[in-house]
């Protein structure tokens, strides 16, 4: 029997891609998960229709057909060419009890995905799809199935995951239900991959920004004032069992519409309002002695900052393109929320507007002075992470909002597939924030927030 040839390297991982691959190698961040609820599944050959549509996406999207070489090496990991993909190695099918317990069972599958490590990533692209169906459909309930997409964060970001479902529903609507899918896909030639974000985003760093970074990193501790304490959950502990906990919060379309109108009238946004609600909730739930202040963050889509030199043929490819905005809530602001006579509505909208302004300011200044551009100076990612073990976390929570799905439909045919719910969850961030709130909406205007944390880190 001929030896299987060694996987061929396609390109090195970029800095943000290494950020994720090094975490996966240590088991401290495992995947991103997005599920979408697809209405109107075909009465026959439903699995075949999904496999056929998924095959079209794998052919179209190069990041779905690469592995990762050297993930456990320091900074030398590379994407690898996978010449043959067996879709059955990526797809699972589950049936869950119908009725009121179905959504909770689906949430448990999300948590299961977050607790898994991808295996054989050199030769098996690190993503999986799970088709989930209820055992029974209630009276008057429209038939549906949920399709879960779980993926290694080095392949793409949250926006890429949303794009997956946008393109999958289009592929389902373009695929004949009677078509016979190809389960084995062959790719003799290596793919052309989207560029790493630092190769297409013209980052700049001012002297003041660099001076502040150098001072924070290298100045003796006795010369720097002590940082004000914040609530950040339990300290980082690599030995703590990885047990993802998730709560799903579904907000119906009329309520979302009201939230959006009120946010606009207060110069805020849904994202900043959710931040402000988290702040108010945490201020009241966590004792003042444990939580004098908070720091939160908002991941941002960096695609708008790509230069014209980016390959236009790869504009719609799944990829990683991330920045971040940080929001500090000092003790005085938190104390104001805790006062018995506090006007909570006014304070919540005050903070919602402030956070929206901070995000807008950060967006206006990018790609200048972006801390992500400094990842190039990290020469040993495993050591970088190991130094965090046992340390206090540097933040309190994250709100990651993907906005609404955009789906092109070819008409109003009764057989058209539609998405009624999209559920986005972030994996446990063992070496980072203790709590995350992930938000996404289907085309219909409802909204689902996935709140996730590691068991024992948040009381």
pLDDT in tens, 116-130: 999 999 999 999 999
Q: Residue 275: what pLDDT?
A: 99
Judgement on whether residues 134 and 34 belong to the same structural domain of the protein: yes
Judgement on whether residues 177 and 262 belong to the same structural domain of the protein: no
Judgement on whether residues 303 and 435 belong to the same structural domain of the protein: yes
How far apart, in whole angstroms, are the C-alpha atoms of residue 296 and residue 51?
A: 40
Tokens of 99: 């009725």
Task: Please identify, among 167, 186, 205, the residue that sits at the C-terminal boundary of a domain.
Answer: 186
Q: Residue 75: what pLDDT?
A: 86
Judgement on whether residues 280 and 326 belong to the same structural domain of the protein: yes
Q: Residue 210: what pLDDT?
A: 86
Least confident window among 15-24, 44-53, 430-439: 44-53
Judgement on whether residues 160 and 284 belong to the same structural domain of the protein: no
Q: Residue 218: what pLDDT?
A: 62
Q: Say whether pLDDT at 111 is over 90.
A: yes
Judgement on whether residues 214 and 275 belong to the same structural domain of the protein: yes
Q: Tell me the backbone φ, ψ of residue 41, rounded to 5 degrees.
A: -65, 150
Mapping DSSP onto H, E and C, the string for 130-190 reads: EEEEECCCCCCCCCEEEEEEEECCCCCCHHHHHHHHHHHHHHHHHCCCCCCCCCEEECCCC
Q: What is the mean pLDDT of residues 178-192?
A: 90
Q: Say whether pLDDT at 1 is over 50.
A: no
Q: Say whether pLDDT at 269 is over 60.
A: yes
Q: What is the mean pLDDT of residues 397-409?
A: 90
Q: Is residue 418 domain-resident?
A: no
How far apart, in whole angstroms, are the C-alpha atoms of residue 264 and residue 278?
A: 19
pLDDT tens-digit map of 411-429: 556 678 999 999 999 999 9
Q: What is the mean pLDDT of residues 141-149?
A: 95
How far apart, in whole angstroms, are the C-alpha atoms of residue 444 and residue 252?
A: 10
Q: Is residue 260 domain-resident?
A: yes
CA dihedral 80, 84, 86, 90 (to 10 degrees): 10
The CATH number of the domain where 356 resides is what?
3.30.559.30
Q: Residue 95: what pLDDT?
A: 97
Closest by CA position to 442, among listed 65, 169, 138: 169
How far apart, in whole angstroms, are the C-alpha atoms of residue 402 and residue 170?
A: 19
pLDDT tens-digit map of 339-381: 999 999 999 999 999 999 999 999 999 999 999 999 999 999 9
Judgement on whether residues 49 and 139 belong to the same structural domain of the protein: yes
Q: What is the mean pLDDT of residues 211-236?
A: 80
Domain coverage including residue 340: 197-401+428-454
DSSP letter, residue 335 = H
Q: Is residue 414 domain-resident?
A: no
Q: Say whether pLDDT at 62 is over 50.
A: yes
Q: Say whether pLDDT at 409 is over 60.
A: no
Q: What is the mean pLDDT of residues 253-274?
A: 98
Percentage of the chain lying above the pLDDT 70 cut: 95
DSSP letter, residue 434 = S
Tokens of 349: 């909208």
Q: Are 84 and 185 in contact (CB under 8 A)?
A: yes
Q: What is the mean pLDDT of residues 135-144?
A: 89
Q: Residue 140: what pLDDT?
A: 83
With cut-offs at 50, 70 and 90, classify the pLDDT of residue 53: very high
DSSP state letters, 238-272? TTS---EEEEEEEE-HHHHHHHHHHHHHTT--HHH
Per the structure, how many domains does the chain have?
2
Q: Is residue 22 domain-resident?
A: yes
Judgement on whether residues 173 and 102 belong to the same structural domain of the protein: yes
Q: What is the mean pLDDT of residues 314-343?
A: 97
Q: Residue 179: what pLDDT?
A: 65
Q: Is residue 68 domain-resident?
A: yes
The CATH number of the domain where 156 resides is what?
3.30.559.10
Q: Is residue 213 domain-resident?
A: yes
Q: Residue 257: what pLDDT?
A: 96
Q: Say whether pLDDT at 139 is over 90.
A: no
Task: Please identify, among 186, 208, 240, the residue that sits at the C-terminal boundary of a domain.
Answer: 186
DSSP three-state, residue 365: helix
With cut-offs at 50, 70 and 90, classify the pLDDT of residue 138: confident
Judgement on whether residues 97 and 158 belong to the same structural domain of the protein: yes
Judgement on whether residues 244 and 306 belong to the same structural domain of the protein: yes
Judgement on whether residues 278 and 203 belong to the same structural domain of the protein: yes
Task: Please identify, among 153, 186, 219, the residue that sits at the C-terminal boundary of a domain.
Answer: 186
DSSP letter, residue 91 = E
Q: Say whether pLDDT at 434 is over 60.
A: yes
Closest by CA position to 316, among listed 426, 162, 432: 162
Q: Is residue 294 domain-resident?
A: yes
Q: Residue 459: what pLDDT?
A: 77
254, exposed or middle or buried, with CB in 10 Å at 0-12, 13-18, 19+? exposed
Judgement on whether residues 357 and 309 belong to the same structural domain of the protein: yes
DSSP three-state, residue 358: helix
């Amino acid at each position: 029997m001929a030896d299987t040839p060694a996987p061929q390297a396609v390109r090195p991982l970029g800095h943000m891609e290494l950020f994720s691959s090094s975490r996966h190698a240590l088991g401290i961040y495992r995947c991103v998960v997005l599920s979408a609820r697809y209405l109107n599944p075909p009465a026959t050959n439903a699995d075949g229709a999904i496999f056929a549509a998924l095959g079209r996406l794998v052919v179209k999207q190069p990041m779905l057909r690469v592995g990762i070489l050297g993930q456990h090496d320091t900074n030398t990991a590379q994407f690898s060419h996978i010449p043959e993909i067996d879709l059955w190695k990526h797809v699972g099918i589950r049936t869950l009890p119908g009725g009121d317990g179905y959504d909770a069972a689906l949430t448990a599958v999300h948590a299961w995905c977050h607790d898994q490590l991808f295996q054989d990533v050199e030769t098996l692209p690190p993503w999986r799809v799970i088709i989930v169906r209820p055992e029974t459909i209630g009276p008057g309930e429209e038939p549906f199935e949920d399709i879960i997409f779980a993926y290694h964060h080095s392949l793409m970001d949250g926006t890429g995951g949303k794009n997956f479902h946008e393109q999958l529903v289009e592929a389902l609507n373009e695929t004949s239900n009677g078509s016979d899918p190809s389960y084995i896909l062959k790719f003799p030639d290596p793919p052309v991959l989207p560029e790493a974000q630092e190769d297409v985003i013209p980052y700049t760093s001012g002297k003041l920004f660099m001076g502040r970074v150098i001072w924070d990193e290298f100045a003796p501790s006795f010369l720097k004032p002590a940082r004000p304490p914040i609530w950040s959950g339990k300290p980082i502990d690599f030995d703590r069992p990885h047990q993802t906990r998730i709560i799903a919060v579904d907000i119906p379309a009329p309520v979302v519409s009201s939230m959006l109108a009120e946010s606009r009238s207060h110069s805020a946004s849904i994202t900043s309002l959710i931040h402000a609600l988290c702040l108010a909730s945490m201020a009241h739930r966590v004792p003042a002695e444990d939580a004098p202040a908070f720091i939160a963050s908002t991941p941002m889509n960096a695609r708008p900052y790509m230069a014209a030199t980016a390959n236009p043929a790869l504009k719609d490819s799944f990829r990683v393109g991330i920045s971040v905005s940080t929001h500090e809530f000092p003790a005085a602001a938190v104390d104001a929320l805790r006062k018995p006579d506090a006007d909570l509505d006014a304070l919540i909208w005050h903070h919602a507007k402030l956070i929206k302004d901070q995000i807008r300011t950060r967006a206006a200044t990018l790609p200048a002075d972006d801390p992500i551009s400094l990842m190039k100076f990290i020469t040993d990612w495993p050591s970088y992470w190991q130094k965090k073990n046992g340390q206090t976390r540097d933040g309190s929570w994250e709100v990651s909002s993907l906005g609404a799905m955009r789906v092109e439909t070819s008409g109003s045919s009764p057989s058209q597939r539609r998405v009624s719910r999209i559920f986005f969850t972030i994996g446990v961030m063992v070496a980072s924030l203790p709590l995350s709130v992930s938000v996404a909406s289907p085309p219909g205007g409802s909204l689902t927030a996935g709140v996730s944390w590691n068991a024992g880190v948040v009381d």
